[in-house]
Chain A
Amino acid sequence: MNILVIEDNRETADYIATGLETAGHSVMVAEDGPEGLRTLHRESFDLMIVDRMLPGLDGLSVVQLIRDQGMTLPVLFLSALDGVDDRVKGLKAGGDDYLVKPFSLNELEARVDALGRRASISGKEVLLRAGDLEMNLITRRVTRGAAEIDLLPREWVLLEYLLTNKGKLITKKMLLEKIWGFHFDPRTNVVETHISRLRHKVDKGFPVELIVTVRRFGYMIREPV
């Protein structure tokens, strides 16, 4: 993906750029709001990562401006501000995701992937599939092969989210935010426990495991080869 990073701290900008370039993205860095806007108008990007606190023009205003101009590219906010209000403000201004500093590269990459995918999906799919696992969003039925799978409401949301992002790493943090609405790190294995329950229903007794653990970082649903 072609990614624009607007970040005034050069060290952080380098850290992000190196990380994303290693993951195969092409990255351009702007050091303040106005420069970011100029770059944005000169070239085309698939995604923008913007720090909330910027010299010249702050991140919120940058995003508001480009949204007012009708640009729809996905925006990921970076911020040292960890208040709930801050997050809500960021999303209201037109951000698609909000990541609080400090963050790990894996976390950033996973979110960039998820946002990139969101942009490429046009319209909502009705049938989500991975191998012989099928999730029908209309009939609200989940089957694997011939077997019907009964899911609790939150297990349904969890599986739907994983299937929508099939093949992408989903971090625990993302799951906590998206599935449970927790914007903090619990000390217990909340995600692990629920994934294990879901796995018990989806994978147990089948020769191929669809829900894969990426050690220490998160999970993904992998299409069997």
Chain B
Amino acid sequence: MSRFKLLDTPTFRLILLSSAIFGLSVSVMFGVMYVAVTRSMERQVDTEIQNEIASLSDNDGRMDRERLVARVQGRIARHNQTGLYYLIEDEDGTVMAGDLPALPVPFSGTYDLPSPSEDPDHVLHAVGISLPNGINLLIARDVFALDEVSDLMERTFAAGVILTLATALLSGAFVSRRLLHRLETINRTSREIMSGDLGRRIPIDGNDHDFDELAINLNDMLARIEDLMNGLRQVSDNIAHDMRTPLTRLRQHLERARLSGGTVDEFRNAVDVALLSADELLETFGALLRIAQIEARVPNSGLKPVDLSAVCTLVTETYGPVAEADGHNLNAAIVPGLVVDGDQQLLIQMLVNLVENAVQHNPAPVDIRILLHHAEKSGPVLILSDDGIGIPPEERENVLRRFYRLDAARSTQGSGLGLSMAAAIAKYHGAVLTLEDNKPGVRVVIRFEGNYRS
């Protein structure tokens, strides 16, 4: 990864910006501290010199020439102890005492003087006063130690800033590289998916919570898109293969009638038969579209509370006589008042499809049972069972597919869409539909997991 690219990443730039702001605030803080410390040190020097001036005075505050000169000479002799420099000149500028080079009089005020040691690093801070008796007194202090403190502060500060910036840059580079790496993985996966490999998923790293969450969400989205794509593909396949057969049959029927029909009644009969099969075709089309619509809906969206118990009761009441007319027996055990978030029409259709399957696909009389109860963990569970011919275990997945029909069912009526529609409706409701062995017969179990209102 080139440095140039790193500079382009927003993360890195963000980190740079925040380190710059941090550096600036540290500088301001340091500046304030620096000024405060140097000021205070300078004031200390001033105070020291003022005190010295006071101690050179007589008790009454005045300064006698001879005594002053004597005192200063005494101080100069002990120079090493005080670290102070002195200069006394009379009104004509003649040096009376001192260890500093002569200065033009009068010299009241504060000065910075070069040190008599001629070391350029050493600077003297001097205060001069003109006394009323014509004497000019100057006391100076070598501030080399103070300058050293300032220098030390400056150096420390520079090192600190450089260290801070370096750390910020390094950590920024590290974090950005990591981010870029993950983003690159996501980008690469997206490109692979766009180029046709719909089954690809973004790897989940396991130690980066935010990115893993993003990856999981993206993967879920991809799974949903793949589902929809497959649904679409399946519908076009279905139209191409399964709808062609009845259409061909219809066409052949009309052709035969055209060739061999003689009387108006014969034609009328032929048209009636053709209308009937056209209606069946339309119905199959409708069912196919409906399944596609249900599958395209966002699961659990636009649902309203539906009394599932009432739906079961309605279907039981309605289909009891229908089952009976075919020699079957339909009974139910329904726990009342179970409500789910749902689409009432679809839930009715789901149960109707299941009941009709049981009624139609069992040639011999069977007991059909609708069972609705509430399971502690999974919410409402709807079971539709019969003790009829059943579905072989290896076919249980297949019968959920569109247009798939068991050999045993080929002679009976039906489009082969009932179960797949029921499964699609269940899925839309956040429910899971499974086929189980009822020993004998089949048991369709629909668990409304994650969709329950008490």
On A, residues with C-beta under 8 Å from B are 82-85, 102, 104, 154, 180-190, 193-194, 196-197
19 CB-based A-B contacts, threshold 8 Å: A82-B290, A83-B293, A84-B346, A85-B302, A154-B317, A154-B318, A180-B314, A180-B318, A181-B344, A181-B348, A182-B348, A184-B349, A187-B360, A188-B319, A189-B322, A190-B319, A190-B322, A194-B321, A197-B321
Within 8 A of A (CB), among B318-351: 318-319, 321-322, 325, 343-346, 348-349
A187 to B319, Cβ gap below 8 A?
no
Could you mark each residue 291-323 of chain B with 1 if its beta carbon is under 8 Å from any beta carbon of chain A, else 0? Answer: 001000000001000000000001001110110
Closest chain B CB from A121 CB (angstroms): 28
Q: What is the chain B residue whose CB lies nearest that of A87?
A: B345
Closest chain B CB from A165 CB (angstroms): 21
In the complex, B433 has a CB within 8 A of chain A: no
Closest chain B CB from A152 CB (angstroms): 8
A187 to B346, Cβ gap below 8 A?
no
Closest chain B CB from A135 CB (angstroms): 21
A189 to B286, Cβ gap below 8 A?
no
Chain B contacts of A104 at CB under 8 A? 279
Q: What is the chain B residue whose CB lies nearest that of A185?
A: B283
In the complex, B352 has a CB within 8 A of chain A: yes
Q: Contacting B356 at CB < 8 Å: which of A102, A187, A197?
A: A187
Q: Contacting B289 at CB < 8 Å: which of A82, A154, A181, A190?
A: A82
Chain A contacts of B317 at CB under 8 A? 154
Chain B at the A interface: mostly helix, strand, loop or mixed? helix
Interface residues on B, range: 20 to 34
Chain A contacts of B414 at CB under 8 A? 187
In the complex, B98 has a CB within 8 A of chain A: no
Q: What is the chain A residue whose CB lies nearest that of B276?
A: A216
Q: Whole-angstrom distance between the alpha carbons of A154 and B346 in the complex?
A: 21
In the complex, B117 has a CB within 8 A of chain A: no
On whether A193 and B345 interact (CB within 8 A), knowing A185-B283, A186-B356, A187-B360, the answer reads no
Closest chain A CB from B258 CB (angstroms): 23
On whether A102 and B282 interact (CB within 8 A), knowing A181-B348, A187-B414, A190-B318, the answer reads yes
On whether A184 and B418 interact (CB within 8 A), knowing A83-B293, A190-B322, the answer reads no
Q: Whole-angstrom distance between the alpha carbons of A104 and B321 in the complex?
A: 28
On whether A84 and B325 interact (CB within 8 A), knowing A182-B352, A184-B349, A190-B318, the answer reads no
Could you mark each residue 256-284 of chain B with 1 if its beta carbon is under 8 Å from any beta carbon of chain A, else 0? Answer: 00000000000000000000000100110
B290 to A193, Cβ gap below 8 A?
no
| Apart from the given pairs A84-B346, A184-B352, A187-B418, 14 other A-B contacts in the complex at a CB distance below 8 Å | A82-B290, A84-B343, A154-B317, A180-B318, A181-B344, A182-B345, A184-B345, A187-B360, A187-B413, A187-B415, A188-B319, A188-B359, A193-B322, A196-B325
Q: Whole-angstrom distance between the alpha carbons of A184 and B319 in the complex?
A: 15
Q: What is the chain B residue whose CB lies nearest that of A102?
A: B282
B418 to A193, Cβ gap below 8 A?
no
Closest chain A CB from B312 CB (angstroms): 14
Q: Contacting A188 at CB < 8 Å: which of B279, B314, B360?
A: B360
Closest chain A CB from B305 CB (angstroms): 15
Chain A contacts of B293 at CB under 8 A? 82-83
A188 to B356, Cβ gap below 8 A?
yes
Chain A contacts of B286 at CB under 8 A? 82, 185
